[in-house]
Amino acid sequence: EIVLTQSPGTLSLSPGERATLSCRASQSVSSTYLAWYQQKPGQAPRLLIYGASSRATGIPDRFSGSGSGTDFTLTISRLEPEDFAVYYCQQYGNSLFTFGPGTKVDFK
Amino acid sequence: EVQLVQSGAEVKKPGESPKISCKGSGYSFTNYWIAWVRQMPGKGLEWMGIIYLGDSRTIYSPSFQGQVTISADKSISTAYLQWSSLKASDTAMYYCARTYCTGTSCYTKGLDYWGQGTLVTVSS
């Protein structure tokens, strides 16, 4: 089973700043199967990025994804107040889906 | 409009066998599978399994195999999650979500629509 590790656990930033979130896999992951989600308190997760770098429908272009192999990154170019949330990466491989433990982006 | 509507919150006792549901609408179920995801209080997301409504093909996470049963009724575009015997540790929010799969292109577009979640509370 592929294990995903996310860092940092918590990222404390101010609105307008750039956020860089990391997702590392225990073995190589096809970029095709790497996705990112945002979850706010009391809400279901929302798909942000699929295929490592494709934005889902309606996702602002301040969100971008990159990476390959075992290292993937979600970047929020300029944080808006509504972006403070928990972010999860997720992969599919060997007939299994796995999620990372999440990175919380909170106010500095 | 695509919607996944889940059944309401459940409060159950240990040993009970609830069945929660997830009804899809606004899209063709033949091109999508439905996944179930657990979120324990204050914790992250855990994939439990996935089912194709068209023929009920199911894949389980090893962590949940034998602990739950995922099923479907394609006539009403609904997927189900059922427990054989609840434990207190099953207290969690359970989400369903759809993922595109057709031909050789499966699971490449992430879990793009999610249900609102069903809170299952297990207490004696």
Of A41-50, A53-62, A91-100, B111-120, the least confident:
A91-100
- Inter-chain contact A50–B109, Cβ cutoff 8 Å? yes
- Inter-chain contact B114–A45, Cβ cutoff 8 Å? yes
Within 8 A by CB and 6+ apart from B102, the residues are B30, B31
Cα–Cα dist B75/B63, whole Å: 30
Share of chain B above pLDDT 90, in %: 87
- SS3 assignment, position A66: strand
pLDDT of residue A78: 97
Within 8 A by CB and 6+ apart from B8, the residues are B118
The answer, for A95 touching chain B at a CB cutoff of 8 Å, is yes
Average pLDDT of span B37-42: 98
Q: pLDDT tens digit string along B48-105?
A: 999 998 889 999 999 999 999 999 999 999 999 999 999 999 999 999 999 998 877 7
Distance from CA of B106 to the nearest CA of A (A): 9
pLDDT of residue B54: 87
pLDDT tops 90 at residue B4 = yes
pLDDT of residue A24: 98
